[in-house]
Every structure is written in C-alpha cells, then in structure tokens.
Amino acid sequence: MAAALPYADDSLSLVVLVPDAGQFSQVESSLDAAALGTLVAGLTSQQVVLGLPRFKVETGADLVDLLKALGMTSAFISGVADFSGMDGTRNLFISDVVHKAFIDVAEKGTEAAAATGVVMKNASIPMGLTVRADRPFLYFLRDQPSGAILFMGRVLDPSKN
C-alpha cells in the first residue's frame, strides 16, 4: 500500500510505502527512481485513512573520504587548493565536510532540516483507502515539480517510535 500526502503549498509530498507483510526486503531492494516514479504516477486522488507512527530520524556523515574518492583531492591540501577567488590568497583549503540531516514526522506535520510542512486532518468520518504503517515501511519527502527525493528512509519497527 502507498499514499502520497501533499503539503499545504503542493510543492512537497510525503510518500509512504508499506509493503505487504514479509515483502519489505524485496520491495526495498527492487525500488529505484524509475520504480518510485511509476508508483507515484499510479496513485489516484482519494480519501485515505492513514495510520502513521510518529518518528524522528537523524543522520550524519563525514564526506571528506567520499569526495576524495570521487577525485576531489586538491581542495583538501594546504598550499595546493585554490580558493583565491574567495580571499585573494591561496591560504584556504577544506579541512572537513560534514552532512547532517533529520526528519521528524508527528501529528502536527513534518520537519525536515530547514523544510517544514503542515498536514491537515479532516474531522469528518473517514472514508476511502486505509493505509496503516504498523509494519516496516519506507518514506520519501518528495519535491512535486521536479520529482526529486529530498529525504528518504525506512522505519523497521514502528512500535518503537
């Protein structure tokens, strides 16, 4: 089961994908950009009752070794790096590159790094499709116009969140 929850300005959506019981690994390993695009394109607009646990995921990574492996080596070497366009000297070099991200999904909405969205609830009697994330699920914070995935992750044990 899958649902895409649009945010107030329609530029972002939270896509929640809850594979059938016992199928999480197969779905996760077969999911790529094209498969996700097909999945999202196949969603129809309808009322959805969504059971989604609160969750917060924080992650960080030191990117120096990755950038060096990709060939960006001179920027990290004092006297070799050329950032003279910034200060007119060749004294600057990169000493560290750190990436940190978080996503926090709660009743009042989603906060992801510097992006905030609000999910509104309808107080009427729910009708339509029911999606319950009470087993392992995947989530994607997606830029609607471009289709770019801004954040993605998985929750393996929803009962712990």
> What confidence tens digit (pLDDT) does each residue in 29-73 have?
998 888 888 888 888 888 777 787 887 877 777 788 888 899 989
Calpha distance 5→46 (Å, rounded): 11
Backbone torsions φ then ψ of 137, nearest 5 degrees: -145, 165
1-54+115-161: CATH topology is Alpha-1-antitrypsin; domain 1 (2.30.39)
Flag whether pLDDT at 111 surpasses 70.
no
Indicate the domain borders of the chain.
Answer: 1-54+115-161, 58-106
Strand-pairing partners, residue 60, are 100
Q: Kindly state the average pLDDT of the residues 95-107.
A: 75
Collapsed DSSP state (helix, strand, coil) of residue 29: helix
pTM of the model: 0.62
Mean pLDDT of 145-160: 82
